[in-house]
Amino acid sequence: MDNRDALLSYIEAVYKGVHGFVRSTEGNGIPNAIISVQGINHTVSSAADGDFWRLLVPGKYTITVSAKGYFSQTVNDVVVPADTGSVSYNFTLMRDNPEVWSAKNDFNLHENLASDRYLTNDELNKAMLDLQQLNPTVAEFQTSSNIAAVPVTSLKITHEVGSPEENKFHIALMGGLFASQPAGRELLIRFARHLVAGYTRQKPVISKMLSLAVIHIMPAIDGLFERITNPVCNPPSSPGEIGHQFLVPWKGSNGASDALKYAMKREQFDLILNIEGGGIYMSHPTVELDTMQEKVFKRLADRYVDNHSMMSASHNVNTCEHPVDSTDGIDSTDSKLMSMVYQQFGIPMITAHVSCCKYPPANSLLSLWKENMFSMNSFLGTVITGLRGHVEDINGEPMRNATVIIKGFQQPLRLTKNAAWFKALLPPGNYDIQVSCPEHTSKTVSVVVSDTGLTEVKVVLDKSTTEEEEYHSYSQIQKLLWHLNSEYPAISKLYSFKHSPMRNLSVLELGLQKRDMSFTGYPAIVFTAGLYRDEPVTTEVMLRFVHHLLSNYDTDNRIATFLKTLSVHVVLDANPDRPSNEKEVQTSENYSNFPVDKQSHTLEPETQALMNLLRNTEPVLTVNLRAGSLHVSIPYASDRASHNGNKFATPDEETFRFIASEYVMHHPTMANGHPNCSSHPRDTFEGGVTNAGSWKPYKGSMIDYSYLNTSTFQLDIFIDCCGSPDKSLLPTVWNQNKESLLAMMDAVHNGLTGYVIDEESQPIPNAQVRVEGTEHTVAGGTTGAYWRLLPPGQYTVEVSAYGYLSTTKLGACCVCLAIVVLGICCYTACQKRANRDRRQYYFSPLPHRLYQFEDDKKDIDIFNKPLTGIAGIPQPYYDEDESSGSEEDVVLINPKHRQWEPAPIDE
């Protein structure tokens, strides 16, 4: 009697929680339906008539009901009241219709509903190629045929294929690693279609994933799949399968396994998901892991399990009725394979076993796809909630040699080889990131990783206080130049001009050395520093600029393009006889006296050396670094004549100010026009630019000599108020001028460029190109190429050359022109700067409807004849009417339809 009430209460407890029926849309009870509650790893099943009881304490729950052959149903906010402790809730499930399911979940991709056979290797490759052709901005077909006898093909899927990828997570999805386990082949090609379709339809979750990650779909690693002609559920394993070969090569090296290892090294995957058969469960490496790494693997596996109805119901325990015989060694091989990948390549690898059969029948492929699609999406979703960051120094340079360790993890994070990015797929929580690098002060950064978005961090390391900046002497500069040339011989060349009995004027030429110079012209730009004895800061800034260009050639596409298309000549020390100790430096007003008007007098050694440099290189632009102010000076420095009311202005005033503004606009303070230098506190420069003579007039200047006696346009850039600021300020001065100096290399392409050739299609060297209204002429090179700096506008250009008939003028619009010369013809290309975008135009013959004279057809035939030795450049069109300058004389075409000149060959 003492236990009666307790027993009755216990019996009544069966009614607590949620109870009800699971029925079909026809009203029939559905037996064996699985009822799961979010957050609770325990499920119950419905009875024969569809009735169910789920014990729960009072509260609010999310309940999912699923049954084979029916769509699952999830209901949020199911409330179990506290007063009664019980609530009734019925579920109605819709029968599983593949077409309906596809329209709802898989973008109505009918190819993914196929379930009659496995695709062959060729069909898989074609399917990937089709996806590339469908949307080449997101999908790119790749093959390792150039590095392995047995190629491994893959499909790279990411936002804007071809854009920088170092800051993205690289995730490999592998299938068919074992020929006898082909389920991954079919699931991955379906998933590739799913991702491309979702991105094309701008589905937010997929678009977000692909903006953060590069997905490498590798569905058919083991090509021996096609040799299995009579498949059974569990065919015996073969030591020749790639999965086994990856571990222990059999009968020598295997091409496909070697290609796979190469891909792992090259791509440096952040995560690998391998899909196999032989069970329904997730597995990860069994090698000894630290506690934190174990949590990472568990989180990744749980992302897959929680969205897989069978895995979640079994709590990731393999419940297949007839599991693969343990002697087959699947578990052992998988464990060794994943452990090897983690230990040898540092890549976390997880395997999803998706079928009780190693080789599931083809008629089950659709069911497998429907069971795994949501899990695969969820697995990739880890990139949205991970950690990403990069390490740089105070100048913004990536620190590739840094060491990044998350406290609690044994292994340091891997940094990308170019931009020093690090990434980690971490569970939500608080973490301390410890960053160190030689000669820099270590730093610990605390971050919070949430489950709502990607956590990003930038780590900036300061230089160690023991490492001091310094000014370099002449001998130190010479050693540095020699070292830089030795370290980067493919993109630099060191040469010199005789300066004095003891010292030379050294020049470091930057640019791809092995390129065709016989037919293709490359514009030259000259940078000079240290011309005046009291301005050593200019040498230090220029030294940093040279190192920046050389050290970033392989990692920065912009710099690589500069050094492939330009010839850059750098003079670090234009006055080698200056004192080596900056304390001995005294302000010198004895400017080098250049023969501006070709007067005869004894020249200083540095003057003669620089004149030789300008004569030999024929630069398009010369940038001379100065100190003592913060502005850009343009010619004239002496009173030459009045131009538009300005006695120091050249006829090219607009061009000079246009180029100078490119420097100013990239400098943080120069555009203010108020340097506020202590030596000249009242100086003001409108827009940061002035004529040199308006500030400090003097005769015999290099800037005037360059304009009046060479092809170049020279700017004097004043980079700091002090000629020798404190050593600690040198990094700041460099950082302020870095982007402006790079902008000068871009500025070389502003204006008019092209080739001068004769009627025999041969280049005319040293042709003279002059814009009407100015006496400044530009000389063409030995290839006939020329460059003339101009701002956008309309111009008339004259061309002449010794031994050829007189020049004919023709109006040019928008810095694009057709030059018509009797006996001389210029093939030209125009680049117009507008909103910092470049557009090129080229000339084509008149349309047939505009032919007016019998000789027209002859000219057209000549036009279409290619130039000798210059691939892809058409014979220019001749207009023999000197008076004609209307736009109807030429037809401009977009350059994408015609190659202008061969690109440099990067060897």
Q: What is the pLDDT of residues 177-204, one digit of tens each?
A: 999 999 999 999 999 999 999 999 999 9
| 591 has pLDDT over 70 | no
Mapping DSSP to helix (H, G, I), strand (E, B) and coil, where does residue 561 land? Answer: helix
The 3-class secondary structure across 789-807, one letter per residue, is CCCCCCEEEEEECCCCCCC
Least confidently predicted of 298-307, 464-473, 556-565: 464-473
pLDDT of 350 strictly over 60: yes
d(CA 507, CA 519): 25
Average pLDDT over residues 332-342: 84
Q: Strand, helix or coil at 492?
A: strand
Question: Which residue's entry shows tokens 């980067």?
Answer: 488
For the record, the structure tokens of 511 come out as: 């640019």
Most confident of 192-201, 485-494, 831-840: 192-201
Examine the pLDDT at 894 and tell me if it is beyond 60.
Answer: no
Which range, 145-154, 291-300, 588-597, 864-873, is most confident? 291-300
Q: How many CA atoms lie within 13 A of 126 on its CB side?
A: 5
The mean pLDDT value for 397-408 works out to 91
C-alpha 456/C-alpha 414 separation (Å) is: 16
Q: Residue 805: its pLDDT value, please?
A: 66
Decide: 107 and 194 in contact? Cβ < 8 Å. Answer: yes
Span 553-590, pLDDT tens digits? 877 889 999 999 999 999 998 887 654 444 333 334 44
Which of 43-57, 198-212, 298-312, 856-870 has the least mean pLDDT?
Answer: 856-870
Q: Are 96 and 71 in contact (CB under 8 A)?
A: yes
- 841 vs 285 pLDDT, higher one: 285
Averaged pLDDT for residues 850-862 = 43
Mean per-residue pLDDT, 257-281: 89
Instruction: Tell me which of 521 and 409 has the higher pLDDT.
Output: 409
| 685-715 pLDDT tens trace | 999 999 999 999 888 889 999 999 999 999 9
**Which DSSP state fits 687?**
G
Determine which of 153-162, 327-336, 500-509 has the lowest per-residue pLDDT on average.
327-336
- Of 140-154, 745-759, 825-839, the poorest mean pLDDT is in 825-839
The Cα 776–Cα 773 span in angstroms is 9
pLDDT bucket at 429, cuts 50 / 70 / 90? very high
* Residue with more model confidence, 880 or 892: 880
Q: Which of these, 377, 355, 379, lies nearest to 368 by C-alpha position? A: 355
Q: What kind and span of H or E run contains 286?
A: none
3-class DSSP state of 482: helix
What whole-number percentage of the chain has pLDDT above 90?
A: 44
Of 704, 678, 677, nearest to 691 (Cα)? 704
Q: Over 90: is that where the pLDDT of 840 sits?
A: no
Provide the token pair at 805. 């008939």
Residues forming a β-bridge with 892: 843
Amino acid symbol at 504 = N
Paired strand residues for 754: 786, 828
pLDDT at 81 (0 to 100): 92
| Average predicted confidence (pLDDT) for the chain | 81
The answer, yes or no, to whether the previous bond of 532 is cis (omega within 30 of 0) is no
* pLDDT of residue 80 exceeding 90: yes
pLDDT at 603 over 60: yes
- At residue 681 the predicted structure's pLDDT band, cuts being 50, 70 and 90, is confident
More confidently predicted of 647 and 378: 378
Look up residue 591 and give its two tokens: 């400017």
Average pLDDT over residues 400-418: 90
> Any long-range contacts for 92-95 (C-beta under 8 Å, 24+ apart)?
92/23, 92/24, 92/25, 93/22, 93/23, 93/24, 93/25, 93/30, 93/33, 93/65, 93/66, 93/67, 94/24, 94/25, 94/70, 95/24, 95/25, 95/69, 95/70, 95/71
Q: Where are the beta strands (DSSP E) in 414-530?
A: 421-424, 429-436, 443-449, 455-461, 492-498, 504-510, 524-528
Predicted local distance difference test score (pLDDT) of residue 589: 42
Quick one: pLDDT band at residue 647, thresholds 50, 70, 90?
confident
Q: Which tops the pLDDT comparison, 46 or 144? A: 46
pLDDT at 903: 39
3-state secondary structure of 85: coil
Per-residue model confidence (pLDDT) at position 872: 37
pLDDT for 280 beyond 50: yes
Work out the average pLDDT over 272-276: 95
Would you tell me how many other CB atoms lie within 10 Å of the CB of residue 794? Answer: 11
**Are the CB atoms for 277 and 330 separated by under 8 Å?**
no
The pLDDT value given to residue 891? 29
- In three-state secondary structure terms, 132 is helix
Query: How far, in Å, are 41, 179, 254, 275, 575 from residue 228 at the CA level?
Result: 40, 8, 19, 19, 77
Please report how the helices 557-565 and 730-747 are oriented relative to each other, as an axis angle in degrees rounded to 10: 60
Q: Identify the pLDDT of residue 855.
A: 47
DSSP line for 208-269: HHHHHEEEEEE----GGGGG--S--SSPPP-TTSHHHHHHS-SSS--HHHHHHHHHHHHH--
Query: For 777-834, how does the pLDDT look when each residue is reduced to its tens digit (9 = 90+)?
Result: 999 888 888 899 999 888 888 888 888 764 555 544 333 433 334 344 444 433 333 3
Residue 254 has pLDDT above 50, yes or no: yes
Specify the higher pLDDT residue, 188 or 445.
Answer: 188
Q: Which residue has the higher pLDDT, 234 or 645?
A: 234
